[in-house]
Amino acid sequence: MLSEILLIILGAVYWVLTPAALQRFYMQLLALSFRNPLGQFVRAVTDWIVLPLRRVFKGKGYDWASLIAAFLFELIYVFLKLLIVAGLAPFTSPLGVARWLILGVFGLVVTVIILIGVALFMWVLLSWVAPGPGNPYAGLLDAMVAPWLKPIRRHMPLIGGFDLSPLVAGVLLQIAYLLVVYLQSMVLGLLH
């Protein structure tokens, strides 16, 4: 029972820190303002790790510190999760450490796919419930999902006045998720 409680707490902390670091990277990649509630939250949650990392990892055009922070959160999450479930046994060999690093990479990719899906879902929901300039999140979410929807919209016209590009993007995200999970199992299977 204690292990289940620890896993719940660990998951809660993970799903605040890692998405915030990824969101920070993505917002800076798109040159979005942090002068909104989401941007302020992201900075408040990640400044403690991103600012020191920026002194070491200075990238031109990309906020590598935010991406590295997200990967570190992922590695810590996987490490602690394995520690709670299996103890130190998975980390006693170079092969175990390699599995841990691979799980970290694939876990981060899965988290990115999930976050894109959540942003897309929230964008669709806001477009139905609270569209318009009065909503502080509408413009931000629109800017965040536009790069994912634009290529689909180029090849898919409106159908009866409806934009089905979010539906297509959602299907593509589900396929990407399945492919990543399958690829992860294949790679980990090769390490036995």
Tokens of 149: 């929807």
Quick one: DSSP state of residue 90? G
Tokens of 53: 């990392």
Please give the backbone phi and psi of residue 159, each rounded to the nearest 5 degrees, phi first.
-115, 110
Q: What pLDDT score was predicted for residue 31?
A: 93
Q: Which residues pair with 162 in a beta bridge?
A: 159
Question: Are the beta carbons of 46 and 27 closer than 8 angstroms?
Answer: no
Please name the residue that has the structure tokens 């998951």: 11
User: Where does 30-137 have alpha helices with state H?
Assistant: 37-56, 64-86, 94-129
d(CA 149, CA 165) in angstroms, rounded, equals 6
Instruction: Classify the C-alpha dihedral 164-166-169-171 as positive or negative.
Output: negative
Question: Are the beta carbons of 100 and 78 closer than 8 angstroms?
Answer: yes
| pLDDT in single tens digits along all 192 residues of the chain | 999 999 999 999 999 999 999 999 999 999 999 999 999 999 999 999 999 999 998 877 789 999 999 999 999 999 999 999 989 888 888 998 999 999 999 999 999 999 999 999 999 998 888 766 777 788 889 999 999 999 999 998 888 888 899 999 999 999 999 999 999 999 988 876
Tokens of 126: 């806001």
The distance between the two most distant Cα atoms of the chain, rounded to a whole number of Å, is 60
Q: What pLDDT score was predicted for residue 192?
A: 66
Q: What pLDDT score was predicted for residue 127?
A: 82
Long-range CB pairs of 39-42 (<8 Å, 24+ gap) are 39/140
pTM reported for the whole predicted model? 0.92
DSSP one-letter string for 149-162: HHHHHHHS--BTTB
Tokens of 130: 């609270």
Question: Are the beta carbons of 65 and 54 closer than 8 angstroms?
Answer: yes
